Structure 1
Amino acid sequence: MPKETASKIDTQAADWAARIDRAPLTETEQAVLDAWLAEDMRHLGAFGRARAIALHSERAAALAPGYRAPEKAPARRHILMGGAGMAASLAVATIGGLAYATRGEAYATHIGELKVVPLSDGSVVSLNTQSRIRVHYSHDLREIHLEDGEALFDVARDARPFVVRAGETRVLADATAFTVRHLDSQPVQVTVKRGAVSLQAGNSTPVRLTTNMRAVETAPERIAVAAITPAEIDRGLAWREQRLAFEGETLADAAGEFRRYSDTRIVIDDPMIAREQITGLFQANDPVGFSQAVAASFGLRAEVGDGEVVLHR
């Protein structure tokens, strides 16, 4: 049998990714996909790339209403070279490259780094800056430990449960997309972009979250749940494009967010300045540019020093 070309494999992978995005696969379709993935390691790699591209296509569409995703997966060289449009978006958002997860593997990002990790079942994990996960796949369970940071999980349908653990919090999902935020000294936060998950904090009663819902662990084994808008979810996922979106946050909170993406600190000694609220979309790795924009808006001064920028009157 003639060997399949890379172009043909990419096209088939894109077709499967598009089919999954339209609706959950039937048991028959899932069996066909599983068989196709098992035929050739190149199938798995192409499918992982197609799923990752689909995630960033959604983000591009949200940022630019006139955007239309290509019908077929772009050639691999476009992804690696960081061409225009969607391919450029992917190249920016996958700094550190695509890493293919296997059983028991750990993946991490450094400060300012983002990474996309396609999993063996077709699921995709997008890691935000300073994040660390450990993947444990077995015959009867798909489990990921989010040891630190923030991640977006786009889960493929599979007979095995998909579980994300963050500290004492446990999220059970299937064929859905959701984020988990697990930062030091901050409560665990779970946001559902699509589908539904079951959330349990410690030994508390599980809580069901559906599309456009967010839950925050307010205390040990206590969870607060709220409905949010799609726009709020898009703002929360702006980090996939290396951006930070603020909508009424204080300058102190904004400065804290920028510290996760850059070694340059934003210093605000005046409590009145720290309480000022900010709205806008900013480059996550440019705290100096952010500080200068803030200074111009609030009539402040931004003094750039060694490893820091000080905002004052």
Structure 2
Amino acid sequence: MWLAKMQRPDAERYRSDLDAWLAADPANLAAYNKAAGRFHDAKMLSQSKRWRPAPLDNPGHRTQWALVAVVAVVLGAAWPLWKTLSPPATIETDGRQTAATTAVVASATIENLHGAISRRRLPDGSFVSLDTQSVMRFAFNPKARDIWLDAGRARFSVAHDGRPFIVHAGTGTVTATGTVFDVVLAPDGAVQVRLLEGGVDVQPSIARPMPPRKLKAGQALTFTRIDHAVPIAVIDPRDIEWVDGMMAFESAPLSEIVAIANRYARAPIRIEGSGLPDMRLSGRFRIDNPDRLAANLAQSLDLTVEHQPSGAIILRR
């Protein structure tokens, strides 16, 4: 029904209602995309001059838990058309996303700025787990599935597809077709790739292409803006538990553990007392649950826990 309405001369009168319907339920988006795909496959799009893509939401207007879609007509090559569209709107929330999606081209920015680790299903059936303080973009077209990790850490569980799945991070790329791997982008631009399943090709430098480094399951590779030839290493098992909110520490100062945990906390954990920040401990802790972590730290170091009205948690002797 909606697709038919958007072919009419007065299509613009239905625009706001269509946007609301698409945003109300991901199933509506899927149904619209399916109908649009059939319409395109029948080669009717090139015959219609009435349809215009729905405008993207103003990036400055951030609506919680919104999934806003826009359908683009492909009157030639899909990729050049996508590049002419406005950048997809974004939302600064805990894993919420604003999407611009079509049956032919899908693009979105996902920001997980503070809080819990988020897990999202991408239009191709792949899944991404995005760490807190992380930002990624994606753009899928008939020939490739491109991801840009702009900040933070992500785990990709890639759906098998004939199109390459390419993650752009730092100076290089990671290419897969169906596999599971982590990509970590450090603030200084260094990138670490950890392969859990399958195989990937790592190209450390797009500007200075070289034969790709091939990783096997259990291997990791780090490259920087300067050093593109770092040897392949074995994954440290402690580095791959982050998607479950777990992290292992070995003789780490209390201040370091708390600083990492506060990246996930809406109200911070604070340490009060001379010498306490430098106290060291080892173990596996759940860092995405500040109440539980504070209790565990207090038990390990014989501290007391104080919950303040603001939500802050104080650790002291």
User: Do the two structures share a fold, i.e. TM-score over 0.5?
Assistant: yes
For residue 276 of structure 1, report the CA deviation from its aligned partner.
Answer: 0.8
State the percentage of identical aligned residues: 27
Residues 267, 207 of structure 1: CA spacing in aligned structure 2 closer, same or farther, 3 A cutoff? Answer: farther
- The letter of the residue matching 2:180 is A
Contact map agreement 1:128 1:149 (CA 8 A) in 2: yes
Matched, 1:142 2:145: yes
Matched, 1:226 2:233: yes
Matched, 1:107 2:110: yes
Tell me the SS of whatever aligns to 1:237.
Answer: helix
Match of 1:282 in 2: 286
Pick one of 116, 121, 136 that aligns with 1:118.
121
Residues 218, 292 of structure 1: CA spacing in aligned structure 2 closer, same or farther, 3 A cutoff? Answer: farther
> Which shows bigger deviation, 159-168 or 183-192?
183-192
Pick one of 190, 194, 201 that aligns with 1:191.
194
For residue 179 of structure 1, report the CA deviation from its aligned partner.
Answer: 1.2
Matched, 1:291 2:297: no
Match of 1:245 in 2: 247
Q: TM-score, normalised by structure 2?
A: 0.57
For residue 113 of structure 1, report the CA deviation from its aligned partner.
Answer: 3.7
Contact map agreement 2:110 2:137 (CA 8 A) in 1: yes
Aligned pair count reads: 219
Structure number having the greater helix percentage: 1
Match of 1:181 in 2: 184
Residues 176, 219 of structure 1: CA spacing in aligned structure 2 closer, same or farther, 3 A cutoff? Answer: same
> 2:96 and 2:114 mapped to 1: Cα distance?
15
Tell me the SS of whatever aligns to 2:257.
Answer: helix
> 2:176 and 2:151 mapped to 1: Cα distance?
20
Deviations 1:204-262 (A, max 9, x none): 74322211122233663343532136x54652332xxxx22324262333223212211
Q: TM-score, normalised by structure 1?
A: 0.58
Residues 263, 186 of structure 1: CA spacing in aligned structure 2 closer, same or farther, 3 A cutoff? Answer: farther
> 1:271 and 1:288 mapped to 2: Cα distance?
22
Match of 1:263 in 2: 266
Larger Rg: 2
| RMSD (CA atoms) | 3.4
- The letter of the residue matching 2:170 is G
Provide structure 2 residue ranges, at least 5 long, that are not aligned to the other structure. 1-28, 35-93
Contact map agreement 1:246 1:254 (CA 8 A) in 2: no
Contact map agreement 2:180 2:196 (CA 8 A) in 1: yes
- The letter of the residue matching 1:253 is E
Contact map agreement 2:294 2:313 (CA 8 A) in 1: yes
Tell me the SS of whatever aligns to 2:256.
Answer: helix
Matched, 1:309 2:313: yes
Deviations 1:139-168 (A, max 9, x none): 322110111222111112223221101222
Contact map agreement 1:100 1:118 (CA 8 A) in 2: no
Pick one of 138, 161, 164 that aligns with 1:161.
164
- The letter of the residue matching 2:110 is Y
Tell me the SS of whatever aligns to 2:114.
Answer: coil
For residue 97 of structure 1, report the CA deviation from its aligned partner.
Answer: 7.6
Provide structure 1 residue ranges, at least 5 long, that are not aligned to the other structure. 1-39, 46-94
Tell me the SS of whatever aligns to 1:175.
Answer: coil
